[in-house]
Amino acid sequence: MKCKFDINRRIIFNIFWMVLGGVLIGCNMAGLVDDYWCGFGAGLLGVGVVQTIRNIRYLRSAEYREKVNTTNQDERNRFLANKAWAWAGYLYVLVAAVATIVFQLLGKTELSTAAGFSVCIIMVFHWLSYLYLQRKY
């Protein structure tokens, strides 16, 4: 079970994200930053609102709190989440590898290099993680 202090800290942190998002949107409206930062601010604002609502609901509703705690501690859900991450990693490597070849064929050398580099980085992270987990377990 999450401690009440931890939830209150999360709510404060989410309020910070909402304020930062509002400031970025305001700066865009004032012409100080471009549209990228306005979109980024809107994203921060939206995520902050949703997370704050979820955390307040967690504090106020015993039924919701029990449901969340059960979901977070259930072994099947953890297994499925880990499996989903593994599949996402495999698919990313395959898509980025294909993109490397396609971009090269289209003459988009910079995009091809970026996609190839991302595959390389993921493979290095996988190898390092494997070495770490092999020693730990």
> What integer pLDDT is reported at residue 60 of this predicted model?
93
- Tell me, what's the pLDDT at 99? 98
| Six token digits for residue 38 | 């306005």
Percent of the chain with pLDDT over 70: 97
- Closest Cα partner for 67 from 79, 80, 57? 57
Q: What is the mean pLDDT of residues 52-71?
A: 92
Q: Does 58 have pLDDT greater than 90?
A: yes
pTM for this model (two decimals) = 0.66
Task: Report pLDDT digits (tens) over 78-128.
Answer: 899 999 999 999 999 999 999 999 999 999 999 999 999 999 999 999 999
* Confidence bin at 30 (pLDDT 50/70/90): very high
Tell me, what's the pLDDT at 73? 87
Q: Around 130, how many Cα atoms within 13 Å sit in the side-chain half-sphere?
A: 7
- pLDDT at position 2 is 59
